[in-house]
Amino acid sequence: MKIRIKFQKQGNLKFIGHLDVMRTFQKLNRRAGIDIRYSGGFSPHQQMSFATPLGLGLTSSGEYVDFDMNSVPDKKTFLQMLNDVNVEEMRLLDACLLPDDAKNAMSLLAAADYTLTFREGHKIEEGFYEAFEAFLSKDSIPAVKKTKTGFREVDLKQQIRRAERRPEGLFLQLDTGSVSNCKPEFVMETFYETWGKDYDPFMFMINRDELYGEEEGKLKKLIEYGSDF
Amino acid sequence: MRKNALSDEILMAVEKPARYLGNEYNAYHKDFDEYPVKAVFCFPDVYEIGTANLGMQIIYEQFNENPEAMCDRVYSPWFDLDKVLREKKIPLFAVETQRPVRDFDLLLITLSYEMCYTNVLQILDLSQIPLLSKDRTEEDPIIFGGGACAYNPEPIADFFDVFYIGESETQYDQVIEVIKKAKKQGLTRLQTLEALADIEGLYIPAFYEAFYKEDGTIGSFLPVNPHAKEKVKKQAADMRKDLPYPHRPLVPYERGMMDRASLEVMRGCIRGCRFCQAGMIYRPQRNRDLDFLKQAAKDMLEATGYEEINLGSLSSSDYSELKDLLDFLVPYCEERKINIGIPSLRIDAFSLDVMSRIQDIKKTSLTFAPEAGSQRLRDIINKGLTEEEILEGARQAFSGGWNKVKLYFMLGQPMETDDDVSAIPVLADKIARVYYETVPKEMRQGKCQIQASTSFFVPKPMTPFQWAAMQSSDEFIRKAKLVKEGILSQLNRKSLIYHYHDDHQTELEGLLARGDRRVGKTILRAYEKGCIYDAWNEHLKYELWLQAMEETGVTFDFYNYREREEDEIFPWDFIDIGVTKGFMLKEWRKAKQGLTTPNCREHCSGCGAACYPGGVCYENKD
Ligand code: SF4
């Protein structure tokens, strides 16, 4: 039985890397005493798979992990069992029961929402939003991305699905996943380069708000792939 | 939310920022302003090592359980942050409150190994607290030292205001009481220290003065303050009582040195190995109560979610109720897929049976610590382990499916000859032979692997070998080469592996362990020259240490290489550990004659530790 969980990673947890988040979940699950499935063998592992790692330094209110369970109580009890023994900064926000043939979160992944706010002590530079708009209105935004094997030319224009100025800051919806993947830091870095100004990686605080899959050309939140339980 | 002492820019730039956040699950987070006594506990090494330390966890628990106190934590900043703190003049901070260390009333530094001494100075320096006790003012915290190295506190006496000699459980509640009163009554620093001196087990170095003879040895060591006692008595807890224990230990985010719960089954050791400081200073051996341990194990595992629990003690096989404890723990852990680690088990049928149930025998290796290669030398050091026992244990293990064995030895013990050294590879080879004799060809999975490691011996204070001369670096290396050559000439050399520990680190450890107050200047000088993290072999700056010694007139000849006269006054003689100097001297003489002494369960030798209640000395007596 597969359960998908949506959780947050806030505050100082932004300094905790993905491997440590995985280890933290293993311990959390043991403390909570939930009936998660284990692999066989001499050192059994909990059957867990995360949608996608979050970059170090980013916060999130939309992280996902799928659990393979032997049995589960109702959703409210399930979330409470885990949150009661959890740190506030990693609170579980929601969960759903997935159909048996459901694909895992990682393979569904198509897009992510991000909100960028200016960090305390860093002022919005004059003309920032105007320049950003101009940047986006080009027909193509070529950029060179560093990959494991070398460099690759990409068109950011194809990867930025939405960008909006909002009261809290800049909202970005970006391609995410194995087919096309774009990180908010890379967008900003490319933008500053085009703008001709120095990019300070600490100018923005970045929060990931949501993760989506895609069905018939429409985005669907990962939590909407299952049902209540 | 509390604000971090460091900016995000700094935290993102340093390795493992989680070291400095104090946001672990189960952290106490007591409010700084709410409690009259504010303590910060320090382990002077990197976070991963500090958080794994059980002593630290116990004190952290004890202080925070006290309704009058709050206790935060601090660890040595790693090199990267050290540099930033110095450059930006950011005062070192406690991780939970993120407040400067110097804002607290007490800084409690645990001293688990001598090679952390320059890290102590780093902590004080970065905290912007004067390095020398005599330079501190009313504004500064009172600096406490405790732990295994406090049994010879003299080399670091200048840096500490107070040493706590012994186990933390007995007196810290009283310390909290005194500090609370002192603050309320507005006592001066001196008055507060005097009040602390009245507590048994507390040593205030400033209240004593050492006088030296012409030959450099100590002529007298005397109190110079009416509150100071002539002898400071070691504190040993009565383990039958319900003592503070970390039932909810911290759960670090990052993989630590020990990502597991630790269960201390007993304290002390019944075996009287003559080289072993822990075996003497933690006397008498005291069992913890079985029900207490069952409960603590359950509590810790439930409160942390750890996948492993480790039974800790100097010699777990000597815990009287080990079988009952394991009868509970093994099924409990099996059901929950939790691993059990039991180091320091004696290899016999019982322990092999236990280990085959809790470990993957294909992956684990069997450990023996003969400490010496020949029976002659094992008798001299009083290691009650015979060659027959080792070979029989190995034979049983090999039939049980193990094929890896680790052997631990020490080089440079008193009265050691080259024949004793050469016996090490011979013993390793004999074990390999047992493997090929016991396990038929078709059952073998490749070769067996016998790994011998040697460390170099430091005659430690408070042991029967405290009189012995320590050998020089050159002699150590010569002996290690002898072992190496010996290994290469054995029949089964392809099944044997040999490692040896660094000699430079050991030489300095000897100096810092055996030194007196005059060595303090050397430590300070070494720190000023840039020595920190000396316990990390790759960071040890041996040349700088040698310069510091030269500049402060301290030599290995005097502190390490010299056999000490039977009537010499040792720098640590003012500490009473229960075990008497007379007993240790008798043991030293017996060692010279090659005579052994039975362990505490076989026969009590009247060492003096029976002055503490509730241990092996009173077994079968009440
Ligand atoms: S008094 Fe006897 S039983 Fe007690 S620790 Fe000493 S030798 Fe052992």
In tens, the pLDDT along B34-51 reads 999 999 999 999 999 999
The reply to whether B62 falls in a domain is yes
- Asked if B253 and A16 come within 8 Å (Cβ–Cβ), the reply is yes
> How many angstroms separate the CA atoms of B171 and B164, rounded?
9
The predicted-structure confidence for B390-402, as pLDDT tens digits, reads as follows: 999 999 988 888 8
Q: Which of B270, B273, B280, B283 to mutate to test the pocket of ligand 1 (most atoms within 8 A of CB)?
A: B283
Q: Ligand 1 mean position to B316 CA, how many Å?
A: 18
The reply to whether B22 falls in a domain is yes
> How many angstroms separate the CA atoms of A45 and A48, rounded?
9
> How many angstroms separate the CA atoms of B574 and B569, rounded?
9
**Minimal-distance CA residue of chain B relative to A21:** B253
Cβ–ligand 1 distance for B52 under 6 Å, the answer: no
Q: Which two tokens stand for residue B199?
A: 């507590």
DSSP character string of B437-465: HHS-GGG--S--EEEEEEEE----TTSGG
The reply to whether B397 falls in a domain is no
Residue B367 CB coordination number (10 Å): 15
Nearest CB to A27 within list B17, B251, B337: B251
Q: Is A16's Cβ below 8 Å from some Cβ in B?
A: yes
- Chain B contacts of A89, Cβ < 8 Å? 23
Q: Is A39's Cβ below 8 Å from some Cβ in B?
A: no
Q: Supply the residue whose CA is at minimum distance from atom 3 of ligand 1.
A: B617
> How many angstroms separate the CA atoms of B46 and B50, rounded?
6
**What does the pLDDT read at residue B471?**
95
The reply to whether B446 falls in a domain is no
Q: Ligand 1 mean position to B604 CA, how many Å?
A: 5
**What does the pLDDT read at residue A56?**
92
CA–centroid distance for A104 within its chain = 15
What are residue B209's DSSP bridge partners? B222
Cβ–ligand 1 distance for B283 under 6 Å, the answer: yes
The reply to whether B315 falls in a domain is no
Burial A45-66 (b: 16+ CB within 10 A, else e): ebebbbbbebeebbbbbbbbbb
Rg for chain A, CA atoms, rounded? 19
Nearest CB to B253 within list A11, A24, A38: A24
Helix-helix angle B349-358:B322-335, to 10 degrees = 20
Model confidence band, residue A144 (pLDDT cutoffs 50, 70, 90) = confident
Helix-helix angle B79-88:B117-126, to 10 degrees = 30
- Please give the C-alpha separations between residue A188 and each of A163, A194, B275, in angstroms, as whole numbers: 12, 10, 63
Residue B427 CB coordination number (10 Å): 21
**Contacts with B18 (C-beta within 8 Å, 6 or more apart), sequence order:** A15, A16, A20, B47, B252, B253, B254
Cβ–ligand 1 distance for B427 under 6 Å, the answer: no
Identify the residue among B1, B8, B20, B81 best suited for mutation to test binding to A, counting A beta carbons within 10 A and taking the highest: B8
What are residue B107's DSSP bridge partners? B40, B143
The reply to whether B148 falls in a domain is yes
Q: Is B236 helix (H, G, I), strand (E, B) or coil?
A: coil
Instruction: For chain B, list residues with pLDDT below 50.
Output: none
- Asked if A87 and B12 come within 8 Å (Cβ–Cβ), the reply is no
- Number of alpha carbons in the 13 Å side-chain half-sphere of residue B606: 2
| Residue closest to B504 by CA, chosen among B477, B524, B466 | B477
**Contacts with B480 (C-beta within 8 Å, 6 or more apart), sequence order:** B411, B454, B500, B503
Name the helix (H) or strand (E) containing B380: helix B375-380
CA–centroid distance for A217 within its chain = 20
Atom of ligand 1 nearest to the CA of B615: 4
Q: Is pLDDT of A34 > 90?
A: yes
Cβ–ligand 1 distance for B607 under 6 Å, the answer: yes
The predicted-structure confidence for A39-75, as pLDDT tens digits, reads as follows: 987 778 999 999 999 999 999 999 999 999 999 999 9
Residue B391 contacts residue B429 (beta carbons within 8 Å): no
Q: Is B362 helix (H, G, I), strand (E, B) or coil?
A: coil
The reply to whether B73 falls in a domain is yes
Q: Is B11's Cβ below 8 Å from some Cβ in A?
A: yes
Identity at A198, one-letter amino acid code = D
Give the pairing of strands B232-233 and B218-223: unpaired
- Please give the C-alpha separations between residue B239 and each of A46, B166, B263, B577, in angstroms, as whole numbers: 38, 14, 14, 17
> How many angstroms separate the CA atoms of B129 and B274, rounded?
40
**Minimal-distance CA residue of chain A relative to B357:** A42
Q: Is A42's Cβ below 8 Å from some Cβ in B?
A: yes
The reply to whether B207 falls in a domain is yes
Q: Ligand 1 mean position to A155 CA, how many Å?
A: 79
Q: Is B270 helix (H, G, I), strand (E, B) or coil?
A: coil
Rg for chain B, CA atoms, rounded? 25
Residue B528 CB coordination number (10 Å): 14
What is the C-alpha end-to-end distance of chain A, expressed in Å? 12
For chain B, how many structural domains are there in total? 1
Q: Is B209 helix (H, G, I), strand (E, B) or coil?
A: strand
CA angle A175, A180, A181 (to 5 degrees): 60
Q: Span A113-124, mean pLDDT? A: 88
Atom of ligand 1 nearest to the CA of B284: 5
Residue A97 contacts residue A2 (beta carbons within 8 Å): yes
Residue B246 contacts residue B41 (beta carbons within 8 Å): no
| Residue closest to B45 by CA, chosen among B59, B31, B56 | B56
> How many angstroms separate the CA atoms of B515 and B512, rounded?
5
Q: Which segments within B138-277 are labelled E, that is strand?
A: 142-146, 162-164, 202-203, 208-212, 218-223, 232-233, 261-264, 266-267
**What does the pLDDT read at residue B622?**
52
> How many angstroms separate the CA atoms of B527 and B509, rounded?
15
Q: Ligand 1 mean position to B279 CA, how many Å?
A: 11
* Residue position matching structure tokens 């209240």: B207
Residue A208 contacts residue A58 (beta carbons within 8 Å): yes
- Asked if A12 and B4 come within 8 Å (Cβ–Cβ), the reply is yes
Q: Is A45's Cβ below 8 Å from some Cβ in B?
A: no
Range of the domain at B90: 8-233
**Contacts with B356 (C-beta within 8 Å, 6 or more apart), sequence order:** B400, B401
Q: How many helices (H) and strands (E) does chain A have?
A: 6, 11
Q: Is B335's Cβ below 8 Å from some Cβ in A?
A: no
> How many angstroms separate the CA atoms of B609 and B282, rounded?
9
**Would you mind telling me the total number of residues written for chain B in this entry?**
622
Q: Supply the residue whose CA is at minimum distance from atom 4 of ligand 1.
A: B617
- Number of alpha carbons in the 13 Å side-chain half-sphere of residue A73: 10
Q: Which two tokens stand for residue B138?
A: 């009313």
